[in-house]
Amino acid sequence: VQIINLDRIVALGIKTVDVDILYEKGMIGKKDVPVKILGVGDLNEPIEIIADMFSKSAIEKLEKVGGKAIFRW
């Protein structure tokens, strides 16, 4: 499992993020290994994230600002 914190995704400044974007930006090493998003960091604007797994706090932070946690499978 590849772990990514919310703050790293926010730093990208992209409204919709998926595994392909994370790979292109060098945040993950492989597209075929599951990606889990953790709730480290704060959100001020809605972001839509498509990943395999999300921590409870990541989902709560995304939904609080109108974002979405979308499960890839």
Q: What is the pLDDT along the chain (73 residues), one digit of tens a residue?
A: 999 999 999 999 999 999 999 999 999 999 999 999 999 999 999 999 999 999 999 999 999 999 999 999 7
pTM: 0.94
Which pLDDT score is estimated for 39? 97
Strand locations in the chain (E): 2-5, 16-17, 35-38, 48-51, 53-54, 68-71
Structure tokens at 39: 């709730």
Which pLDDT score is estimated for 2? 98
